[in-house]
Amino acid sequence: MIGCGAVLFGIGAVAGCAGGDSTTPTTPTSVEPTTLTGTGTTNNSGMTVNGISLSELPATQTMTMLPFDTSGVTLISPYKPSHTGIDINTITGGRFLSPASGVVTLVQLNTGQGRPGTNYRVRIHHTSTGINSLYHFEVDGAISDQMQQANILVDLGDQVTAGQHIGNLMSQGPHAHVHYDMLDAGGRATVRCPIVYFASDVAETWENLYDQKIKERDDARIAENRGAVPSLPNLCNDVELPSLRFVTAPMILRLRNHKLF
């Protein structure tokens, strides 16, 4: 991390480090890249992103770690046609990790996207051909620039390893989550479900955790006489949920028993 008085994450200096934190977010500015200092070589010409060369990254790479610490996860929302990523809800301070080695090509405060409030973003490129992890931290509330800085644990141009702790979600409300995408050089035009990039055992762990968290949510709701919520069967889905207007409680039970909800 970079201390007070320095240029932070290629975004700009943050005033008031010695005084109280402001809760008013600032407008994000353009990212100013730093110089990448790599080790080793893969003989790939690679791409350049935000002025950072990807040439020292492998041409292909399988993700071998979950991109989060499972101990803090409270709910997972799946990939579907209208939601081209996976949402991971956590307790405040939920830890997010790099799923493979790579280089940090974007760090941004106050993104102005996602849920209302203060949101921040980190991107890690894993291959010279453009495969990257994109984390959008949506806190469901407002936090200061200083708190955003303190919970982004990498800088632009940093090289990271599989499992490295790269940031925390400072949850401020019940809908706080990290929207996690895996993208390639085609960006959102060619987006795929993130788990297709992961080793099969890691993908299975993620799928099982999704099922577990859905069950925990529904069990809690049933105990409070609120009833279960319709959910899609898998982390990766090519269909949407049916309209809730046409779904009854017996239908939910039947569909979930057939792994259709």
- What domains are there in the chain, each with its CATH number? 48-211 (2.70.70.10)
The string of pLDDT tens digits covering residues 175-202 is 999 999 999 998 888 999 999 999 999 9
Band of the pLDDT at 249, cuts 50, 70, 90? low
- Number of helices (H), then strands (E), belonging to the chain: the values are 3, 11
| HSE value, Cβ hemisphere, 13 Å, CA-based, for 112 | 4
The mean predicted confidence, pLDDT, of the chain is 81
The string of pLDDT tens digits covering residues 16-72 is 223 333 333 333 333 333 333 333 333 455 689 999 999 999 999 999 999 999 999
Band of the pLDDT at 240, cuts 50, 70, 90? very high
d(CA 218, CA 249): 12
